[in-house]
C-alpha cells in the first residue's frame, strides 16, 4: 500500500464569532460569560497561548500564577467537565496540509517524513475550555489517503468528527480537504494523529493544548514535550515486517523529544527547555510513540503531577512519571537548583526495545547557564523499568455504581495467532474474541448506521452497547499467558474517559469484585492492559455514536487488535446533523480508490 509520506502544513487563525446554536440532541450546560476576548497567537508561539478570563471560578477569582484553580463564573477546577462545560461562543480555525518531505533529518539521519504544515511534529493546536475548533485538513499526498483523529477529545454527540477511517469516515483522498469540528468540552493536554494504518509513525502527529484551570499553581506554561521511538525505515515498511515476522516487531533506531535528538556520532541536536531560577513551570508530556513506553525524569529535580490524560488529578510529588503510548502527564517543575544544565531523561520501559535506550535526552537549561550539555552521566535515582500506569486520584470525585457491575459486566478476550504461509513466511494476527478487526475504507461503519444497515461482518468487531441514557457498561479485558501474548497493551477508547477499576498480571481475572475500585477510581482515555493479565474498565453510556477501542501500538492494531462500540444506536442518526462533508469525503475517496492504476492496497486492518 504505502511507503510514501506526507506533511501537514498548518496555518492557524482565530476569529471571534457570536455564540452558536448547539446542534446536539443532549447539550451540556453551556454558559457564555467570558466577556471581551482576545485572538489566539499563531501556533508556533514559543509558549502556550492563553486568553485568561476576567472572572474567577465557582467563587469570584481570577486565574493566575497563584490561583490556577479559578477559571470563569460557574467554572473552576472543581467542575466535572463530563457534566458541565462553558461555551465561549468563539471559533478557532486551523488549516492543515499533509505533504511528503524527503529533506528532513530529525536526529541527523535523513529519511522520508510525513510532516504537518511542513514540520514535524505538526503545529500545536491551541484553544480554551469552551471554544470550538474548526480544522480544515488537506491531503496533498500522492498515493495515500489519510484521516486525523483528535486523541482523547470526547466529541460529545459528534462522532462523525472523530477521524477514524473505516469507522466514522472514509479516508481523505489525495488532493481532497475535509473539515473537522471539535467542541472543547474538556481542558488539558492531548495530541492529534493519523488513523490511516501505521501512518502516524511517519510523522503525522501534533499536540493539542486546551487551556483551563489546574490543580496546582505555576508561574508559566512551557507547553508540550512529545516523546516517540523513531525508525529509519518508514512506518509502513516496518508495519509489513511486523505483520509477517516470526521474531517480533522491529527495534527503533532512536527516540525523539519534540522531534529531535542527538546521535552518538554527534549529528542532530537535543531539544532545550529554558527555565528561570525560582519559578514554577508547567510541562505537558505526551507519548506519541509507536512501540515504546517511557519513564520521564529530570536530573536533581522532583516535580508535581497535576493531570493524567485529560483528567485533572490530586497533585502528587514524583521523581519520575510513567507514560504509555497515547497517554499524557502534566507536571509542574520548580527551578530550585543551581543555575546550570540538567538532563531530562526518557527511559524506555522493559516491554520494548530501542537502540538508543538510556540516551534519549533533552536539556533543561536555566537562564544564565552556558549553552553546553549537562555533565551528569547517569540519573541519581533508581527508576522503575516496567510498563505500568501511574496510580492517580482524579481531582473531581466520582463513584462507580457497584450495584450495576455484576449484571452489566462483559468480557473481551485478546489472543494472538501466527499462521505459517505457503512461502515459509508468517502472518501475525491479534484477535478480539477470535476475530482480527478489518475495516472497509469505502463503507465506514457509521455509514451502515446512517443506512440502517445492521448487517456487520464478523471482522468489523462491532458490539452494540446499552440503549438507555447513562446506563453503565463494564468490560473485563483479558489476555492469555504465552510467549507472544505476554505483552502489555495500551488500550485506548474513543468518545470517553473510562474508569480504571482494576488490573493485574496474574492471568485471567478471578472474578473477585472486592479487589476492584469503585470509589473515585482513575479516569483516563488510555490504560495499560498488563502483560498476560487483565484490565477492567467502566463508563456510562452518555455519548451516542460509533466508538473504536484498540491497542495503540500500530503493529498490534494493524494486526487486528481493535473493536467498535455502537453506543445507543437508535439515537445516532438523529444527532449527526448535516452529513454533506461526510458524503463529499466518501465520494472523493471511492472515486480515487476505484480508479485503475492505484499504487497500494490495504495490507492490514486499515487502522
Rounded Cα gap, residues 322 and 39, in angstroms: 35
Q: Is residue 203 part of a domain?
A: yes
Q: Is residue 3 part of a domain?
A: no
- What does the pLDDT read at residue 383? 82
Rounded Cα gap, residues 257 and 276, in angstroms: 21
**Does this model's pTM top 0.85?**
yes
Among the three residues 156, 191, 213, which one is the final residue of a domain in this structure?
Answer: 213
Same domain, 173 and 256: no
Given a cut of 70, whether residue 33 has pLDDT beyond it is no
Same domain, 262 and 135: no
Phi, psi of 522 (to 5 degrees): -55, 145
Task: Give me the number of domains the chain comprises.
Answer: 3
* Tens-place pLDDT, residues 335-366: 999 999 999 999 999 999 999 999 999 999 99
Same domain, 248 and 197: no
Mean pLDDT for all residues in the chain: 89
Same domain, 226 and 209: no
Rounded Cα gap, residues 320 and 68, in angstroms: 23
Rounded Cα gap, residues 356 and 360, in angstroms: 6
Given a cut of 70, whether residue 580 has pLDDT beyond it is yes
Same domain, 449 and 523: yes
Among the three residues 213, 241, 274, which one is the final residue of a domain in this structure?
Answer: 213
Rounded Cα gap, residues 552 and 562, in angstroms: 9
Rounded Cα gap, residues 452 and 444, in angstroms: 13
550: alpha, beta or left? (left if phi > 0; alpha if psi -120 to 50): beta
Q: Is residue 605 part of a domain?
A: no
- What does the pLDDT read at residue 492? 99
Widest Cα–Cα separation across the chain = 72
Residue 429, domain extent: 402-576
| CB of 45 closer than 8 Å to CB of 185 | no
* 516 Cβ neighbours under 8 A, 6+ residues apart: 402, 405, 501, 502, 536
What does the pLDDT average to over 6-34?
A: 31
* Tens-place pLDDT, residues 96-128: 999 999 999 999 999 999 999 999 999 999 999
Q: Is residue 47 part of a domain?
A: yes
Rounded Cα gap, residues 159 and 204, in angstroms: 21
Looking up residue 453, the CATH number of its domain turns out to be 2.60.40.420
* Tens-place pLDDT, residues 121-167: 999 999 999 999 999 999 999 999 999 999 999 999 999 999 999 99
Same domain, 190 and 226: no
What does the pLDDT average to over 556-579?
A: 95
Phi, psi of 107 (to 5 degrees): -120, 20
Rounded Cα gap, residues 138 and 88, in angstroms: 27
- Helices and strands in the chain: count of H runs, count of E runs: 6, 33
- What does the pLDDT read at residue 246? 76
Q: 304 - beta bridge partners? A: 317, 332
Given a cut of 90, whether residue 10 has pLDDT beyond it is no
Assign 443 to helix, strand or coil: coil
Same domain, 409 and 508: yes
Assign 402 to helix, strand or coil: helix
Given a cut of 60, whether residue 21 has pLDDT beyond it is no
What does the pLDDT average to over 47-75?
A: 67
Given a cut of 50, whether residue 42 has pLDDT beyond it is no
Upstream peptide bond of 110 is cis (omega within 30 degrees of 0):
no
- What does the pLDDT read at residue 56? 36
Given a cut of 70, whether residue 227 has pLDDT beyond it is yes
Same domain, 94 and 150: yes
| CB of 179 closer than 8 Å to CB of 136 | yes
The lowest-confidence range among 30-44, 115-129, 546-560, 586-600 is 30-44
Same domain, 258 and 114: no
Rounded Cα gap, residues 53 and 558, in angstroms: 44
Long-range contacts of 419-423 (CB under 8 A, 24+ apart): 421/244
Rounded Cα gap, residues 188 and 79, in angstroms: 13
Q: Is residue 396 part of a domain?
A: no
Same domain, 192 and 69: yes
- What does the pLDDT read at residue 15? 29
The lowest-confidence range among 11-25, 190-204, 294-308, 493-507 is 11-25
Sign, CA torsion 74/76/80/82: positive
Q: 567 - beta bridge partners? A: 465, 545
- Nearest 5°: the CA angle 320, 323, 324 is 150
Q: How many CA atoms lie within 13 A of 212 on its CB side?
A: 30
Same domain, 161 and 14: yes
| CB of 152 closer than 8 Å to CB of 125 | no
- What does the pLDDT read at residue 189? 99
What does the pLDDT average to over 278-288?
A: 99
DSSP state of 47: S
Same domain, 416 and 297: no
- How far out from the chain centre does Cα 600 lie? 27
- What does the pLDDT read at residue 599? 76
Q: Is residue 584 part of a domain?
A: no
Among the three residues 349, 366, 383, which one is the final residue of a domain in this structure?
Answer: 366
Given a cut of 50, whether residue 30 has pLDDT beyond it is no
What does the pLDDT average to over 300-308?
A: 98
- What does the pLDDT read at residue 249? 87
The lowest-confidence range among 3-12, 486-495, 580-589 is 3-12
Given a cut of 60, whether residue 45 has pLDDT beyond it is no
* Tens-place pLDDT, residues 452-477: 999 999 999 999 997 788 899 999 99
Assign 238 to helix, strand or coil: helix
Q: How many CA atoms lie within 13 A of 317 on its CB side?
A: 3
Q: How many CA atoms lie within 13 A of 268 on its CB side?
A: 24
- What does the pLDDT read at residue 379? 86
Q: Is residue 592 part of a domain?
A: no
Task: Report the relative pairing of strands 498-504 and 9-15 from DSSP bridges.
Answer: unpaired
382 or 527: which leads in pLDDT: 527
Q: Is residue 600 part of a domain?
A: no
Q: Please report which helix (H) or strand (E) contains residue 556, including its range.
A: helix 554-558
Rounded Cα gap, residues 398 and 83, in angstroms: 12
- Give the model's confidence band at 27: pLDDT under 50 very low, under 70 low, under 90 confident, else very high: very low
Rounded Cα gap, residues 257 and 249, in angstroms: 22
Rounded Cα gap, residues 556 and 249, in angstroms: 10
| CB of 181 closer than 8 Å to CB of 133 | yes
DSSP state of 290: S
Amino acid at each position: 500500500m504505502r511507503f510514501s509520506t506526507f506533511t501537514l502544513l498548518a496555518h492557524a487563525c482565530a476569529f471571534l464569532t457570536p455564540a452558536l446554536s448547539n446542534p446536539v440532541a443532549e447539550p451540556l450546560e453551556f454558559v457564555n460569560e467570558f466577556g471581551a476576548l482576545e485572538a489566539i497567537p499563531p501556533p508556533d508561539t514559543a509558549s502556550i497561548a492563553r486568553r485568561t478570563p476576567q472572572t474567577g471560578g465557582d467563587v469570584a477569582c481570577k486565574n493566575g500564577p497563584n490561583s490556577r484553580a479559578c477559571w470563569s463564573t460557574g467554572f473552576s477546577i472543581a467542575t466535572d467537565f463530563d457534566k458541565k462545560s462553558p461555551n465561549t461562543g468563539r471559533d478557532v480555525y486551523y488549516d492543515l496540509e499533509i505533504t511528503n518531505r524527503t529533506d528532513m533529518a530529525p536526529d541527523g539521519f535523513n529519511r522520508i517524513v510525513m510532516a504537518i504544515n511542513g514540520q514535524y511534529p505538526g503545529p500545536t493546536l491551541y484553544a480554551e475550555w469552551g471554544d470550538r475548533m474548526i480544522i480544515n485538513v488537506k491531503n496533498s499526498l500522492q498515493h495515500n489517503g489519510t484521516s486525523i483523529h483528535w486523541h482523547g477529545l470526547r466529541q460529545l454527540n459528534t462522532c462523525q468528527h472523530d477521524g477514524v477511517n473505516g469507522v466514522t469516515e472514509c479516508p481523505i483522498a489525495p488532493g481532497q480537504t475535509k473539515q473537522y469540528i471539535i467542541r472543547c468540552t474538556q481542558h488539558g493536554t492531548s495530541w492529534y494523529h493519523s488513523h490511516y494504518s501505521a501512518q502516524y509513525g511517519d510523522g503525522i502527529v501534533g499536540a493539542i493544548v486546551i487551556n483551563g484551570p489546574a490543580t496546582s499553581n505555576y508561574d508559566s506554561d512551557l507547553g508540550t514535550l512529545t516523546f516517540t521511538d523513531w525508525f529509519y525505515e518508514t512506518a509502513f515498511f516496518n508495519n509489513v515486517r511486523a505483520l509477517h515476522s516470526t521474531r517480533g516487531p522491529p527495534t527503533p533506531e532512536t527516540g525523539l523529544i519534540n522531534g529531535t535528538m542527538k546521535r552518538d556520532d554527534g549529528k542532530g541536536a537535543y531539544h532545550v527547555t529554558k527555565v528561570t531560577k525560582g519559578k514554577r513551570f508547567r510541562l505537558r508530556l505526551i507519548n506519541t510513540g509507536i512501540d515504546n513506553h517511557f519513564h520521564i525524569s529530570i536530573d536533581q529535580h522532583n516535580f508535581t503531577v497535576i493531570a493524567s490524560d485529560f483528567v485533572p488529578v490530586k497533585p502528587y510529588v514524583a521523581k519520575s512519571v510513567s507514560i504509555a503510548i497515547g497517554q499524557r502527564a502534566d507536571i509542574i517543575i520548580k527551578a530550585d537548583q543551581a543555575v546550570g544544565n540538567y538532563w531530562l531523561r526518557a527511559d524506555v520501559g522493559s516491554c520494548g526495545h530501542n537502540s538508543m535506550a538510556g540516551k534519549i535526552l533533552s536539556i533543561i537549561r536555566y537562564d544564565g547557564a552556558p549553552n553546553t550539555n549537562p555533565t551528569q552521566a547517569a540519573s541519581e535515582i533508581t527508576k522503575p523499568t516496567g510498563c505500568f500506569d501511574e496510580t492517580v486520584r482524579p481531582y473531581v470525585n466520582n463513584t462507580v455504581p457497584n450495584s450495576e457491575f455484576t449484571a452489566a459486566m462483559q468480557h473481551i478476550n485478546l489472543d494472538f495467532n501466527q499462521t505459517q504461509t505457503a512461502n515459509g513466511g508468517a502472518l501475525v494476527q491479534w484477535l478480539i474474541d477470535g476475530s482480527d478487526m478489518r475495516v472497509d475504507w469505502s463503507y465506514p461503519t457509521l455509514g451502515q448506521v446512517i443506512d440502517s444497515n445492521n448487517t456487520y461482518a464478523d471482522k468489523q468487531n462491532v458490539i452494540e452497547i446499552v440503549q438507555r441514557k447513562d446506563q453503565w457498561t463494564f468490560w473485563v479485558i483479558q489476555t492469555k499467558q504465552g510467549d507472544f501474548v505476554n505483552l502489555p497493551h495500551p488500550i485506548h477508547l474513543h468518545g470517553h474517559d473510562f474508569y480504571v477499576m482494576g488490573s493485574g498480571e496474574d492471568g485471567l481475572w478471578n472474578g473477585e469484585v472486592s479487589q476492584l475500585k469503585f470509589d473515585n477510581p482513575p479516569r483516563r482515555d488510555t490504560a495499560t492492559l498488563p502483560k498476560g493479565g487483565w484490565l477492567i474498565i467502566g463508563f456510562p453510556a452518555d455519548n451516542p455514536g460509533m466508538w473504536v477501542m484498540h491497542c495503540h501500538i500500530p503493529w498490534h492494531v494493524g494486526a487486528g487488535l481493535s473493536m467498535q462500540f455502537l453506543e445507543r444506536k437508535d439515537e445516532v442518526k438523529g444527532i449527526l446533523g448535516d452529513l454533506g462533508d461526510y458524503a463529499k469525503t466518501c465520494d472523493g475517496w471511492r472515486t480515487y480508490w476505484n480508479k485503475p492504476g492505484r499504487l497500494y492496497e490495504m495490507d492490514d486492518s486499515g487502522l
